[in-house]
Amino acid sequence: MPHGDFSDKTAYFCFATGMIAYFKPDIYFNKIEVGGFTMEPMFDSSPTPEMLSLVAILGSFLTLCFLTFYIVRWNTMNGKAAALGLFTMATTFAYQAYKLDGKFVFRQQYVFALMFYLATIHFWFFANPRWTSVTLKAREEKIAAKKAKKSQ
């Protein structure tokens, strides 16, 4: 997918949340006020060394997602594979948050789930076409013909 589409926005989200996990993990243990809404923390417990280690590990996976979503050119084949992974991630975030409370409570996990569900839609339905040498040549010839027609 060309840069500037939703895969890049997903990548930036993963980069930002991954860096938070590395450098400011306590954010995931505190409530956040956003536009008059209170977002409950990802974890209700106090940050223990084990939990901080787990959050840093989450940050490393988010950093991997950033690099993958930003660099790979998603097509109709690998985009579907990424969409399945994103759907799994989104569902896991949402389900684990729901399990904590037994009902919907606006937690940080739901922001992750929403972002990954939106990315699932993008990767599944709006991937780039798969280019082969034949289709690339045909496209280049079409562009060249269009340029030649304009210059006449």
Q: If you average pLDDT over every residue of the chain, what do you get?
A: 92
State pLDDT tens for residues 28-38: 999 999 889 99
Residue 20 has pLDDT above 90, yes or no: yes
Q: What is the pTM of this model?
A: 0.83
As a whole number of Å, the end-to-end CA separation of the chain is 33
Residue 1 in any domain: the answer is: no
* Residue 32 within any structural domain of the chain: yes
| 147 falls within a domain | yes
Count of structural domains within the chain: 1
Buried b (16+ CB within 10 A) or exposed e, 38-76: ebbbbbeeebeeebeebbeebbeebbebbebbeeeebee
Is 71 inside a domain boundary?
Answer: yes
Is residue 58 included in any domain, yes or no?
Answer: yes
At what angle are helices 108-125 and 6-23 packed, to 10 degrees? Answer: 150
Range of the domain at 100: 6-151
Is residue 76 in a domain?
yes
